[in-house]
Amino acid sequence: MDQFENILLEKMDGNIYCLTINRPKVLNALNQQTLMEMDAALQQVADDSSARVLLVTGSGEKAFVAGADISQMQNLTPLQAKKFGETALAVFRRFETLDVPVIALVNGFALGGGCELALSCDFILASENAKLGQPEVCLGVTPGFGGSQRLPRIVGRAMAMEMLVTGRMVDANEALQRGLVNHVYPQAELLEQGLKLAAKICNNGPVAVKLTKELVQRGQDLDLENACAMESDLFGLSFACDEQSEGMQAFLEKRQANF
Ligand code: DAK
């Protein structure tokens, strides 16, 4: 596996990958190089047909990612800022289009680009000390990595507007109530809980899991009729895979399926 400077990519038991943003001195802020390394890491995971789940987290106990790197952004020209935003948007989009589920383990601050990174994952587990927010307006800029679009789709327009125009951070419990995160755990248990959840996903048919992610990701931007038609197509396709016969046979024989 390639060595990176600003991230770590590990392949763990059960074909579960873990990508860690590793710049704890600046609370894992995202600079251009980190984004490029994330892109290369995502390519490695995408190229590995045995990959089943990707976990994404931040190094240290304080932050998931405290945003785009403000010191690198400070002197950008408008065109450079646009390019920087486009780079991040393309990398974040890869988390959504990666064929396996991506789980963000938000272990502290997830602000600005950090919150937007978590929003690009399929779902979020948070530690009790997590704080999520979009404070870009406090810096005099708009969100640039998708937050103004993904946040309203997840928490609804009113709550998203409140977060986006006040810059207020929400803590883990409020994020849980708002459906922004799926579960909250003590920080020391977060990785273990992430691995447990990943292991549950790995018990299921890998192709069915991939097709289901594709349905959810592609379907949310379609009208209901076309989205359901796509579901019928992929449902039909799942009957072309060995795991459908094994899964159904195992049920009828009252045993665990061997995928
Ligand atoms: N960038 C760079 N360095 C950061 C950072 C960041 N986002 N966040 C923290 N750091 C650094 C701090 O400068 C400090 O460095 P030293 O002073 O030790 O050298 C170190 O991390 C520890 O931080 P603090 O000393 O501040 O720690 P505290 O516990 O006191 O505070 C905090 C933690 C997370 C509340 C605070 O660090 C903070 O407010 N950080 C900034 C959070 C933030 O504003 N994030 C959003 C960044 S903006 C675009 C438009 C917009 C964007 C991008 C593109 N386009 C139109 C294309 C914007 C995106 C963003 O993410």
Looking at the predicted structure, is the pLDDT value of residue 91 above 80?
A: yes
The pLDDT assigned to 253 comes to 98
pLDDT for the residue numbered 14: 87
Examine domains 7-202 and 206-252 and report if their fold is the same. Answer: no
Give me ligand 1 centre to Cα 183, in Å: 25
Residue among 6, 27, 166 whose CB has most ligand 1 atoms within 8 A, to mutate: 27
Beta bridge partners of 18: 10, 55
- Give the rounded percent of residues in the chain with a pLDDT score beyond 70: 99
Residue 172 to residue 23: CA distance in whole angstroms: 23
User: Looking at residue 178, what DSSP letter applies?
Assistant: T
- β partners of residue 16: 12, 53
Q: How confident is the model at residue 2 (pLDDT cuts 50, 70, 90)?
A: low
For the annotated catalytic residues, the residue numbers are 116, 136
Q: Which atom of ligand 1 is nearest to the CA of 139?
A: 44
Number of Cβ within 10 Å of residue 224's Cβ equals 8
Query: How confident is the model over 139-161, as pLDDT tens digits?
Result: 999 999 999 999 999 999 999 99
CA 114 to ligand 1: nearest atom: 61
What pairs with residue 185 in β-bridges? 127
Asked whether residue 80 carries a pLDDT value surpassing 80, the answer given is: yes
CATH number assigned to the domain with residue range 7-202, chosen from the 4 options 3.30.450.20, 3.40.980.10, 3.90.226.10, 3.40.50.970:
3.90.226.10
Closest C-alpha to ligand 1, atom 29: 62
Residue located via tokens 């600005």: 112
Mutation choice for ligand 1 from 26, 71, 138, CB with most ligand atoms inside 8 A: 26
Instruction: List all residues whose CB is within 6 A of at least one atom of ligand 1.
Output: 26-27, 29, 66-71, 81-82, 84-85, 109, 111-113, 135-136, 139, 141-145
Residue 138 backbone phi and psi in degrees, to 5: -65, -25
Atom 32, ligand 1: residue with shortest CA distance: 66
Q: Which two tokens stand for residue 179?
A: 């459906």
The predicted model scores a pTM of 0.97
Mean of per-residue pLDDT scores for the chain: 97
CATH H superfamily, domain 206-252: Lyase 2-enoyl-coa Hydratase, Chain  A, domain 2 (1.10.12.10)
pLDDT score at 3: 81
d(CA 182, CA 200): 15
Model confidence band, residue 1 (pLDDT cutoffs 50, 70, 90):
low
The pLDDT tens digits for 159-180 are 999 999 999 999 999 999 999 9
Among protein residues, the one whose CA lies closest to atom 52 of ligand 1: 144
Instruction: Tell me the mean pLDDT in the region 107-112.
Output: 98
C-beta pairs of 228-231 under 8 Å, 24+ apart in sequence: none
Q: Cα Rg for the chain, rounded, in angstroms?
A: 19
Whose CA is closest to atom 54 on ligand 1? 144
- For the chain, give every domain's residue range: 7-202, 206-252
| Mode of pairing for the β-strands spanning 131-133 and 170-171 | antiparallel
